[in-house]
Amino acid sequence: MTGPFAGVLAPVITPFAPDLSVDTARYTALCRRLLDEGCTGLVPFGTTSEASSLGLDEKLSLLETLGEAEMPMARLMPGTGLCALPDTVRLTKAAVDRGCGGVLLLPPFFVKKIDDEGLYRYTAEVIERVGDPRLNVYLYHIPPVAGVGWSPDLVERLVRAYPRSIVGLKDSGGDPAYSRDVLKRIPGFGVFTGDEKHLADNLEHGGAGTISATANHNVRMMRRLYDRWGSSEGEGLEHAVCAVRRTLDGFPTVPATKAARARLDGDEELMRVRPPLLPLDDARRRELHQKLDQLKATLGNP
Amino acid sequence: MTGPFAGVLAPVITPFAPDLSVDTARYTALCRRLLDEGCTGLVPFGTTSEASSLGLDEKLSLLETLGEAEMPMARLMPGTGLCALPDTVRLTKAAVDRGCGGVLLLPPFFVKKIDDEGLYRYTAEVIERVGDPRLNVYLYHIPPVAGVGWSPDLVERLVRAYPRSIVGLKDSGGDPAYSRDVLKRIPGFGVFTGDEKHLADNLEHGGAGTISATANHNVRMMRRLYDRWGSSEGEGLEHAVCAVRRTLDGFPTVPATKAARARLDGDEELMRVRPPLLPLDDARRRELHQKLDQLKATLGNP
């Protein structure tokens, strides 16, 4: 049941060209850099990737691009959960066929107040239609955005029915009690926290690590925390990781994450977002960069 | 600015075959029957159509099917608002190219807390990329489900910028004060209520009519109300229309609408839904049919 992923994964930001098409050269270069910097894996098409702003064809084509760029596909966990069953099946199949180590599955998120039974049938259909023993599903629990979540009862039922396919989840619900509950019910389940603030709590309760926006610009430090958690360095690292995260508080997550990465790479092109998102304006960007610079002076090199 | 639609439009339910593919024969037959029964227009891919459960390719192919079936395309207002700009542009273009009289545009609905400015840029991109003077956009305001809505300020701004393209909206927000506000700001705007309970209020304030789930099984009566509103018959008709609507209170809208249409046509196949939705179970279906039968005995033929 334990999935193939552990550690610190980045929901990779998606660079856009001036015409708002995906800038594939910058995209593959960024993926490579993130792995070099210490990401144990990457999540293309996560919330921070503006996944919902990418068309199905674009996602299929990006998976192809990543394969052709000889990315280590087993370390990829693309988000493949869309609203419509046929679209989800198609993207999930493509991910498995390209050798992705797992997929991150959002529930269908337009209709709210979905019964567990309906969500169970949907997920069962996805697994059976993909029909591939290589499929590793991580359930994506993010009710504050999706408006629909995976209840612990439903997670247990899915794991009982499909123990080889349902191997973990990402908890972006904001309350680590959810992860703890799931880990108590299903020991060894691959539970990632969506917020590195809860990484120590996650590991303490047998979790697998973190998939967090911040990994796009602070993975070295997050990785050190993951590797040395519980050692004498652990507490200091946790403090530093949380300080970096807090720096982005009050900024919209995706534009701020892009601005932080753009600063690291000295590449303003990375700041571009697709509407309906808006980039940070100049004043806000300066404010963010200043805060990150101050923190860098305090902490060494965040 | 006044759009080409008025009256009673049905967000057509989507019939599914046992393998959950779209049953296109039943679909085109139902579209024809709804027009015969008095629908002034049809909205394929509305919320009641389980639009979010249909893949982009399926929608493109259904538009083709409707064209080949020689449906009066000018009377169609398909829902074309998807989360990703390229998908929305592609489906909207296809609708215009096939001669659809308008499109119903949901805002991108995954990310919440979207600024008006971001939504403005998104909509402007859609209109400019479609780049076709035949495009008639109706904004779809349904914040209780989408989690994102069109503020009256934003509607006004869009109409000022694109007076030929932004011609109306559908208000499924639940509070007719929103429609009244928009109609006061933009006289002649094509405002439809999503709930026929507010149809009289809508018409009284210069609105264009209703696009409501109930039109799938009660359009004759709703159409009479639209045609004779304000006459001596009006009040009685309004009472009857609301009584039919209330019969479905407490049932999940889509499965109940499908069950009500299945009863009318004596065709249980119409009840099938795609997961994550669930069909009514036998007991609930009997309960609904009984209520509708009782009402029929009271009202004549609802």
Q: What is the pLDDT of residue A302?
A: 45
Residues of B in contact with A111 (CB under 8 A): 47, 52, 145, 276-277
Q: Which one of B59, B93, B170, B258 is the catalytic residue?
A: B170
Residues of B in contact with A277 (CB under 8 A): 111, 114, 118
Per the annotation, the verdict on A112 as an active-site residue is no
CB pair distance less than 8 Å for B146 and A52: no
Which residue of chain B has the CA closest to A57?
Answer: B87
Q: Which one of B27, B138, B140, B226 is the catalytic residue?
A: B140
Say yes or no: B90 contacts chain A, CB-CB below 8 A. Answer: yes
Give the A:B interface size as CB pairs under 8 Å.
Answer: 113
- What is the predicted ipTM? 0.95
Residues of A in contact with B84 (CB under 8 A): 52-56, 58
CB pair distance less than 8 Å for A85 and B110: no
Say yes or no: A276 contacts chain B, CB-CB below 8 A. Answer: yes
Cα–Cα distance, A92 to A106 (Å, whole number): 12
Say yes or no: A117 contacts chain B, CB-CB below 8 A. Answer: yes
Half-sphere exposure of A70 (CA within 13 A, CB side): 0
Per the annotation, the verdict on A170 as an active-site residue is yes
Q: How far is A229 from chain B (nearest CA, A)?
A: 33
The pLDDT tens digits of the residues spanning A71-125 come to: 999 999 999 999 999 999 999 999 999 999 999 999 999 999 899 999 999 999 9
Parts of chain A with a pLDDT under 50: 1, 302
Do B202 and B179 touch, CB atoms closer than 8 A? Answer: yes
Name the E strands within chain A.
7-10, 41-42, 103-105, 137-141, 166-171, 190-193, 209-211
Q: Which one of A27, A59, A138, A170 is the catalytic residue?
A: A170
Q: What is the pLDDT of residue A297?
A: 85
Among A56, A90, A125, the residue with its CB nearest the CB of B275 is A125
Interface test with A, best of B83, B253, B280 (most A CBs within 10 A): B83
Q: What is the pLDDT of residue A298?
A: 85
Which residue of chain B has the CA closest to A106?
Answer: B110
Say yes or no: A68 contacts chain B, CB-CB below 8 A. Answer: no
Q: How far is B169 from chain A (nearest CA, A)?
A: 19
Say yes or no: B277 contacts chain A, CB-CB below 8 A. Answer: yes
Say yes or no: B147 contacts chain A, CB-CB below 8 A. Answer: yes
Give every strand in the sheet of B190-193, ordered side by side. Answer: B41-42, B7-10, B209-211, B190-193, B166-171, B137-141, B103-105
- Which residues on adjacent β-strands are paired with residue B41? B9
Say yes or no: A285 contacts chain B, CB-CB below 8 A. Answer: no
Largest alpha-carbon pair distance within chain B? Answer: 53
Q: How far is A176 from chain B (nearest CA, A)?
A: 22
Do A162 and A130 touch, CB atoms closer than 8 A? Answer: no
Cα–Cα distance, B201 to A17 (Å, whole number): 48
What are the structural domains, with CATH classification, of chain A?
Answer: 7-229 (3.20.20.70)
Q: What is the pLDDT of residue A301?
A: 55
* Tokens standing for residue A39: 């990401």
Say yes or no: B34 contacts chain A, CB-CB below 8 A. Answer: no
Largest alpha-carbon pair distance within chain A? Answer: 53
Ordered per-residue pLDDT tens for chain B, 302 residues: 457 999 999 999 999 999 999 999 999 999 999 999 999 999 999 999 999 999 999 999 999 999 999 999 999 999 999 999 999 999 999 999 999 999 999 999 999 989 999 999 999 999 999 999 999 999 999 999 999 999 999 999 999 999 999 999 999 999 999 999 999 999 999 999 999 999 999 999 999 999 999 999 999 999 999 999 999 999 999 999 999 999 999 999 999 999 999 999 999 999 999 999 999 999 999 999 999 999 988 887 54
pTM (2 d.p.): 0.96
What single-letter DSSP state applies at residue B30?
H
Q: What is the pLDDT of residue B205?
A: 97
Say yes or no: A86 contacts chain B, CB-CB below 8 A. Answer: yes
CB pair distance less than 8 Å for A52 and B278: no
